[in-house]
């Protein structure tokens, strides 16, 4: 039993700060902002020692905390990080800061509760990534829906009620079946530890059902075609901060779930059903890419682009079976997973930044329509520079973080099959097409209307958040090695789990 430590602080500090902010209320809004900002920065600073003390050489969980939670179920308050969870925890702690700053004076209605919701959600999201007990994982996973439901519903756009209820019900539907699968395994294993589930022998039939239950939960969250339809609605209606968290962190939970649950718990079913996963991923990449092309709403376009990019994550996660089947070598199998992980982190930064950019424009002109803009570069040169950078990162330009993940996944799919690689490769064209066309219509060209002419360039606050994100995107693109090294051991361990079999030998 290890007592409370750093991870608990990372979870409960923002939640406690959120409650404090809630109690302070809107009357002391000046102080509320600073408390919220201080709490988010403190959380990020607390997360840095994780990076410093993380041991790259092992796949074992580190910073482990284990206290009895519900002894009668063998369920523990069990936290820990490996190379797969750590980058996502860091991402969460990082992204919350720009979200808080971006809302500084923009949110006029009930601002204290807005900040509180985001802080509470930050704690819950870190909890999701660090939980090693399935029940604790589910607890955080579901609890997080409540603040997001309120964020979209209270501070969202005109169709916010429809969007938020759709968001909640879709996610809830998927999650309930995951819970049913978790309980099934608990009844078999007598324990709620995720590691116990990973070691639990399961027949192929059981694994298939469990895989499908997980697929329902995670595919909705990622989201994968055809259960993606909640995302464009939720993104369009959510306030800027909500969109950022949704794109940057919440979608990653689906990807994380595949890596933490589906692959290691149901390896044989994963092998069995990998064609399904690859097909759904490629549909997301290609079809959703075309859908993104025709959008007239900036947020919707970025939302569809997110779905396409997350298609790379699921493709990378499930391509390994074909690689091994094709080449007979284990060596390349991890590459798809590496790519999936980098893609998740990169997409978190890039899509978050793009939503912040849209937020910057929306705050000024209160329109998300592409046609309301044009020639923004003339009035907002600094902003235009950032926007172009993030757009290029979104298309996967070498030197930005977007390149690394896509490149790794495409190489990996080449090893599996030429046709996969060809289809996946279309994203380079499609992604460039929809993103650059967006940039062309919004940023470049002559000033389109009086609204654009009256735009003021970035203020200091906006400049700082976009600059920080730009640095992160470039750093990850130029020098991804630290990230890859961080997850190396864990990815290898996952590969061996996923390629192993739980079935008795024939």
Partner 1 sequence: MPETPMTLASVAPAIPEIYLTIMICVVLMVDVFAGQKRRGLSATFTLFTLALGAALTGMYAHVSERTTLFDGLYVADELAWVLKLAGFLLVAFSLLYSRTYLDRHGLLKGEYYVLALTALLGVFVLASANNLLTVYIGVELLALSVYAMVAFDRESGIAAESAMKYFVLGAIASGTLLYGMSMIYGMTGTLSLDELSTRLQGSTDLGVILGLVFLVAAVAFKLGAVPFHMWLPDVYHGAPTSVTLFIGTAPKLAYFALAFRLLGHGMQGVQADWSQMFGALAVLTLIVGNLVALAQTNLKRLLAYSTIANVGFIVLGFVTGTASGYSAALYYTLVYALTALGSFGVILLASRKGFEADELEHYKGLYKRDPLLAFIMMMLMFSTAGVPPFVGFWAKLRIIQELWATGHTWLVIVAAAVSVVGAFYYLRIVKLMYFDAPAADVPGTERQTGVRLALGLNAAAVLLLGVLPSPLLDLCARLIR
- Provide the binding-site residues for partner 1, judged by CB under 8 A: 68-73, 135, 138-139, 142-143, 145-146, 149-150, 153-154, 160-161, 164-165, 168-169, 172-173, 176-177, 179-180, 183-184, 186-187
* Least distance (Å) between residue 191 CB and partner 1: 13
Q: Nearest distance from residue 2's CB to partner 1, in Å?
A: 19
Contact 196, 134 (CB under 8 A): no
Can you tell me the distance from the alpha carbon of 128 to that of 253, in angstroms, rounded to the nearest whole number?
8
Question: Is the preceding omega at residue 226 within 30 degrees of 0, hence cis?
Answer: yes
Cα torsion 333, 337, 338, 342 to 10°: value is 160
C-beta of 192 vs 383, nearer to partner 1: 192
Cβ proximity of 474 and 243 under 8 Å: no
Q: Pick the closer one to partner 1 by CB: 153 or 241.
A: 153
Q: How far is the CB of 474 from partner 1 (least distance, A)?
A: 39
| Nearest residue (CB) to partner 1, 60 versus 161 | 161
Name residues whose C-beta falls within 8 Å of residue 19's C-beta, 6 or more positions apart in sequence.
116, 120
Q: How far is the CB of 502 from partner 1 (least distance, A)?
A: 19
Closest by Cα among 49, 155, 39, 63 to 107? 155
365's CB contacts (< 8 A; 6+ apart) are 372, 373, 451, 452, 455
Biggest alpha carbon distance in the chain?
74
Residue 62 or residue 74: which is nearer to partner 1 going by CB? 74
Instruction: Give the nearer residue to partner 1 in terms of CB position, either 135 or 356.
Output: 135
Q: Name residue, tokens 């938020």.
A: 164
Question: What is the smallest separation between the CB atom of 445 and partner 1, expressed in angstroms?
Answer: 38
Helix (H) / strand (E) containing 173: helix 160-189
Least separation in angstroms between residue 19's CB and partner 1 is 11
| Shortest reach from residue 242's CB to partner 1, in Å | 14
**In whole angstroms, how close is the CB of 72 to partner 1 at the nearest point?**
6
Q: Whole-number minimum distance, CB 219 to partner 1, in Å?
A: 16
Q: How far is the CB of 492 from partner 1 (least distance, A)?
A: 34
Cis peptide before 494 (omega within 30 of 0): no
Nearer to partner 1, 54 or 69 (CB): 69
Element holding 325 (H helix, E strand): helix 320-327
In this complex, which beta carbon is closest to partner 1, that of residue 86 or of residue 189? 189
**11 and 122 in contact (C-beta within 8 Å)?**
no
Closer residue to partner 1 in complex, CB, 143/388? 143
- State both tokens at 318: 């499930």
Mapped onto helix, strand or coil, the DSSP state of residue 500 is coil
**Six-digit token string for 152:** 């979209």
**Residue 129: CB minimum distance to partner 1, A:** 17
Helix axes 85-102, 333-365, angle to 10 degrees: 10
Left, alpha or beta for 375 (phi > 0: left; psi -120 to 50: alpha)? left
- Both tokens assigned to 178: 């995951």
C-alpha 447, offset from chain centre: 35
Instruction: Please say which residue, 31 or 173, places its beta carbon nearer to partner 1.
Output: 173
Smaller CB distance to partner 1: residue 168 or 321? 168
CB closer to partner 1, 7 vs 380: 7
Q: How far apart are CA 275 and CA 155, in angstroms?
A: 40
* β-sheet bridge partners, residue 133: 193
Contact (Cβ atoms closer than 8 angstroms) between residue 249 and residue 95? yes
- Name the minimum Å distance from CB 294 to partner 1: 30
* DSSP structure string for 123-171: HHHHHHHHB-BHHHHHHHHHHTHHHHHHHHHHHS-TTHHHHHHHHHHHH
Count of CB atoms within 10 A of residue 106's CB?
18
Smaller CB separation from partner 1, 138 or 321: 138
């Amino acid at each position: 039993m290890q007592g409370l430590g750093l991870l608990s602080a990372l979870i409960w500090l923002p939640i406690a700060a959120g409650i404090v902010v809630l109690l302070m209320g809107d009357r002391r809004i000046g102080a509320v902002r600073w408390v919220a900002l201080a709490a988010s920065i403190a959380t990020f600073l607390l997360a840095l020692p994780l990076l410093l003390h993380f041991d790259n050489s092992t796949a074992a969980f580190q910073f482990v905390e284990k206290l009895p939670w519900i002894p009668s179920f063998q369920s523990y308050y069990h936290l820990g990080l490996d190379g797969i969870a750590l980058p996502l925890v860091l991402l969460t702690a990082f992204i919350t800061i720009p979200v808080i700053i971006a809302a500084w004076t923009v949110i006029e209605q009930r601002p204290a509760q807005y900040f509180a919701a985001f802080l509470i959600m930050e704690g819950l999201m870190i909890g999701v990534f660090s939980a090693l007990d399935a029940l604790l994982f589910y607890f955080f996973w579901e609890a997080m829906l409540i603040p997001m439901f309120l964020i979209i519903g209270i501070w969202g756009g005109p169709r916010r009620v429809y969007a938020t209820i759709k968001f909640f019900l879709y996610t809830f539907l998927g999650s309930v079946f995951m819970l049913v699968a978790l309980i099934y395994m608990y009844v078999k294993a007598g324990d709620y530890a995720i590691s116990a589930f990973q070691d639990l022998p399961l027949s192929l039939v059981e694994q298939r059902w469990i895989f499908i239950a997980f697929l329902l939960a995670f595919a909705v969250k990622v989201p994968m075609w055809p259960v993606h339809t909640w995302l464009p609605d939720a993104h369009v209606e959510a306030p800027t901060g909500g969109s950022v968290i949704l794109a940057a962190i919440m979608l990653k939970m689906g990807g994380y779930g595949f890596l933490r649950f589906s692959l290691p718990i149901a390896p044989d079913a994963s092998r069995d059903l990998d064609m399904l996963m690859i097909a759904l991923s490629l549909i997301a990449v290609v079809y959703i890419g075309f859908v993104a092309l025709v959008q007239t709403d900036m947020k919707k376009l970025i939302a569809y682009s997110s779905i396409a990019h997350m298609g790379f994550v699921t493709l990378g996660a499930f391509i390994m079976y074909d690689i091994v089947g094709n080449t007979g070598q284990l060596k390349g199998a991890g590459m798809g997973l590496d790519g999936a992980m980098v893609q998740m982190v990169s997409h978190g930064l890039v899509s978050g930044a793009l939503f912040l950019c849209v937020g910057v424009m929306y705050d000024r002109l209160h329109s998300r329509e592409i046609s309301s803009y044009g020639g923004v570069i003339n009035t907002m040169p600094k902003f235009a520079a950032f926007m172009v950078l993030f757009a290029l990162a979104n298309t996967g330009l070498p030197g930005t973080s977007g390149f690394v993940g896509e490149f790794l996944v495409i190489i990996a799919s080449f090893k599996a099959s030429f046709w996969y690689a060809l289809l996946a490769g279309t994203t380079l064209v499609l992604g460039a097409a929809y993103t650059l066309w967006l940039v062309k219509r919004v940023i470049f060209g002559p000033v389109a209307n009086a609204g654009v002419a009256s735009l003021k360039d970035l203020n200091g606050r906006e400049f700082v958040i976009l600059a920080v994100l730009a640095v992160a995107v470039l750093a990850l693109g130029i020098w991804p090695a630290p990230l890859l090294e961080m997850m190396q051991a864990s990815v290898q361990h996952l590969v061996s789990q996923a390629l192993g079999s739980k079935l008795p030998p024939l």
